[in-house]
Every structure is written in C-alpha cells, then in structure tokens.
Structure 1
Amino acid sequence: MEAAILAAHHANAAGDDVKRALQLELEDAHYEVSLAARRYEAVDPTKRLVARELEARWNAALERVAQLEERLSQFDAEAASRPRIDEAGLMALAADLQLAWNAPDTDARTKQRLTRILIQEVVIDLDDDANEAVVTVHWTGGRHTEARVPRTSVGRYPSDRYPSPVEVLRKLGGYWTDLDLAVTMNRMRCKTAHGQSWTVVRVAELRKRLGIEPFDPTAPHIETISVEEASRRLNIYTSSVHRLIREGVLPTTQLMPSAPWQIPVAALDSEAVRQGVIAIKERRPPHFKTRQDAEKSLKLPGF
C-alpha cells in the first residue's frame, strides 16, 4: 500500500509538471499573439504583401493559443475525473486484508488482482512421512507462510486402517475370483508378509491355507455384475454408474470398503435405473456421439 501511495504521489507530481509546461507554453503563445498583432498594426497598409504575411502569422499564433487552451482544459478535466486517494483508508486496508477481501464491492476479478499483487510464488512440497503437502507462500515483500495440508488418497483404502490380508480373504473369499481378490487387495494396499503385492497365485495359496473355498460360478446365488460390466450394458461411463449408486437409484452391495461392487443383474431392468440412464444421456453434449464414434475408429499410421 505504501508503494501504491508513493506511486500515486509520483504520478501527481508528473501531472503537475505537465500542467506547468502547458501553462508556460500557453503564456509564450499569448506573447506571440500580442507580438504578431503589434507587427500587423505597425505595417504600412500600402504594403499588401507584407500585411498578408503578418496577418497569416497572427492567425497561426491565435490557432496555437486555442489549441493549447483546449489541451489544458482536457488535462484539467482528466485530473478532476481521477478518484482521490484516501491514504488513511488504504493503510487501514493494508492492515486488514480480510476486510478488503470480504467487502461487498470486492468481486472475483478484484480478488484475482489482489492475489497477483500480494503473492509472488507458491511452492508445494510433499512430505511422504507425514503424508502431507507442504505449501509455502512467498508474499510480495519477502515474508513467507507455510501451511500443511493432509493428502487424500483418492480411490484407495484409508491409510489409517489398512485391513490385513486374512481379514480381506475371510470377508471376500468365495464371492470373487482370485484375480478380483488380488486386484482388490492391491487397491487396499495390503501386502504379503514379505511386503510384496498380491498375485493370483499368492491369493490362492493364502486362501487354501485359510480353508476358504474358491469362487464357484455354478453355485446358486443372485447373479451380480461389476461396475465395469454395468457400464458396458447400460452404455454409460463408469463414473455415471457410480453416480447412480450414490443417488440410490442403482441398488448394490459392497462387502467392505474398496471391495468390488456387486450389482444385481435384475436391477438394470428396473424403471428407476432406466429413467436414471435416460437422464444421464440427455445431459450429454450434442457432439458426444460424434466424439464417441471418433474414439472407436481405427487410426492407421500415414492416414
């Protein structure tokens, strides 16, 4: 704020210098007019050529005076239209940024300008030990502020309660194939006793040691499908399927967090799901079909 006030003072001083120069130039122009008038009045009327030349010089001097007066008038009007700076108010805002930020007249554009003026640089580092993002704000003027923000692991099992492999297999074993179990356990960040990721072979070995029967697709049970298969059958994206699940339109079960969703096949034919899918497709942009066809097309090199 002090720099802004100082810049305003310099601008006002420069404006005063310009006005002073215009006033001096106008005084000189008035002198030229009076001098030209005296010379014209003193000439012999019989010398018409000389009289015409002096009259032309007099008119030119009068034009110059009129132009300078107009420039000076415009300068005064522009100076009067500039808002006066309330130095005390500006210094008060400098001490209370929250007041300026939350003022009713402060729009989004003004906040962007304030951010660009006040913040010189933002540096983000990752602290893997604390699982936090360290945000360092370099303010204009040399000061720094550090803030720590917890990192969120999107789509993963909460890091503070990783389940054990035995717990996962006791809850999910028999409901899913060993391949699905391996993918799920890796998503949950489960590790083997040696810190390794899970494979189909490792899942099968642990399942056998625990005495859990493998998944039997021929056993009588309610036919269910995954989110990906539901997406394919409904002809919508998986994100749209998850949206139907969150809104309670598509019934489903999940044996534990991060486990695959089990969607009854019969639920896909319900009226609620059908209307939900229609609403999703109606929200698609006009060019969606063209873009979808372009993604399916085969692109060959050189064509």
Structure 2
Amino acid sequence: MIHWTGGRHTEVRVARVKTGRYPSDMAPSAVEALRQLGGRWPDRELAVSLNRMHCKTGDGEALTTERVRDMRERLGIPEYDPAKAGSPMISLMEAAERLGICVGSAKTLVLKGIIPATQILPGSPWMVPVEALSSEAVRIGVQGVIDRRPKYYEDYQYDKVICLPGL
C-alpha cells in the first residue's frame, strides 16, 4: 500500500522471492557448474554444493556422490587431487575449524576482506589458501571474534552433555 502525501492510497502487488528460495533463473545447469567446479573439490563436496544450487540431473533427480562421479567421468573432468593443486586450498569450514571459530564468523571475516577467499559460483564452497590463515590480519580478526564471546564461553557449548528432561 502506498500512502501518498495528498492522502490518497494505492495498492500495489509485486511477486517476490520467498525467504530461503533460490531463483530458478539463477540456478546454473549441473553440467555447467561441474565444468567450473570439477577437479577443485572432492565429489562429495561437489554433490552438496550442486544440490545447494538446485542443480538436478537430466531426469530431475538430486545429485549424489556417485552421480557426480559418473557425470565428471563422462565429461572428462579430472578427479580431485590435493597433491596436484598449486597452492593448497581448503574449504571455509576447514579454515574455521583450524582457526577455532564457527563457520558464520569465518564467513563474516571473508565478507569483510580479512580472510582472502574465492567462490567460483554463488552457492559453491569458498576456497581459502592455507598460507593465508597464518597472516597477521587473520590472526587479529580471529582474536576479535574470540574477544566477543561470552565470559563463560564453555558453559554455552551444549554439544558435550545432552540434558534430557525426566532422565
């Protein structure tokens, strides 16, 4: 509803993308995405990323590790080999584990430009160079994340003890 200065009202209806939806016109084809991402990540991570980007097989099925491997072999895309990579790259999740912070905080540091990372396609994994994790800027950024934690941070970690009512 638009409220005009003169007191009139106009109703306007606009279609919008619902929260959590990936617009179908933005979704790349599975073959196109695999050609760009293949050889950089293991098949399991490729399957997760392609499903996150809503890529489907030709018959509309979700992508599994086996389907990604078969498609990669049919397209002639080499298998992921960490030894062949020029500079060792890890995913943002692995980088967060090495830095001792959560993935959300690590992504915030990437978006602020503190952790150098690249993403080939929207929805694909972030690639972080391993040597960048030891830089002074990253260390200061991680320390800032740690300093914002609650005073008794360990008390908030519920993954160590399961509290079930009635037991």
TM-score normalised to the size of structure 2? Answer: 0.84
Aligned-partner residue type, residue 159 of structure 2: E
The one of the two structures with greater contact order (alpha-carbon pairs below 8 A, sep at least 6) is 2
Aligned-partner residue type, residue 208 of structure 1: E
Residue 170 (1) aligns with residue 9 (2) = no
Q: CA deviation at 1:253?
A: 1.1
Alignment of 1:8-19 (within 5 A): none
Cα deviation, 1:55-94, whole Å, max 9, x if unaligned, reads xxxxxxxxxxxxxxxxxxxxxxxxxxxxxxxxxxxxxxxx
Number of the residue aligned with 1:151: 17
Is 2:82–2:88's contact at 8 Å kept on the other side of the alignment? Answer: no
Residue 206 (1) aligns with residue 83 (2) = no
Is 1:157–1:258's contact at 8 Å kept on the other side of the alignment? Answer: no
CA distance in structure 2 between the aligned counterparts of 1:166 and 1:183, rounded to whole angstroms: 15
Cα deviation, 1:14-53, whole Å, max 9, x if unaligned, reads xxxxxxxxxxxxxxxxxxxxxxxxxxxxxxxxxxxxxxxx
Is 1:174–1:212's contact at 8 Å kept on the other side of the alignment? Answer: yes
CA distance in structure 2 between the aligned counterparts of 1:291 and 1:217, rounded to whole angstroms: 36
Percent of residue pairs bearing the same amino acid type = 44
CA distance in structure 2 between the aligned counterparts of 1:97 and 1:171, rounded to whole angstroms: 49
Cα RMSD, aligned residues only: 2.4
Residue 270 (1) aligns with residue 135 (2) = yes
Number of the residue aligned with 1:252: 117
CA distance in structure 1 between the aligned counterparts of 2:115 and 2:125, rounded to whole angstroms: 15
SS of 2:25's equivalent in the other structure is helix
Is 2:96–2:103's contact at 8 Å kept on the other side of the alignment? Answer: yes
Q: CA deviation at 1:298?
A: 4.6
CA distance in structure 2 between the aligned counterparts of 1:228 and 1:242, rounded to whole angstroms: 9
Q: CA deviation at 1:250?
A: 0.2
Larger Cα Rg: Structure 1 or Structure 2? 1
Q: CA deviation at 1:279?
A: 1.0
Is 1:249–1:273's contact at 8 Å kept on the other side of the alignment? Answer: yes
Aligned-partner residue type, residue 276 of structure 1: G
Greater percentage in helix: 1
Aligned-partner residue type, residue 116 of structure 2: P
- Figure out how many residues of one structure are paired with residues of the other and give that number: 161
Number of the residue aligned with 1:238: 103
Q: CA deviation at 1:236?
A: 1.2
Residue 295 (1) aligns with residue 159 (2) = yes
Which ranges of 4 or more aligned residues in structure 1 deviate by more than 4 Å?
Answer: 96-99, 145-149, 298-303
Q: CA deviation at 1:289?
A: 2.8
Aligned-partner residue type, residue 151 of structure 1: V
- Unaligned runs of 5+ residues in structure 1 are 1-95, 100-144
Cα deviation, 1:126-147, whole Å, max 9, x if unaligned, reads xxxxxxxxxxxxxxxxxxx784
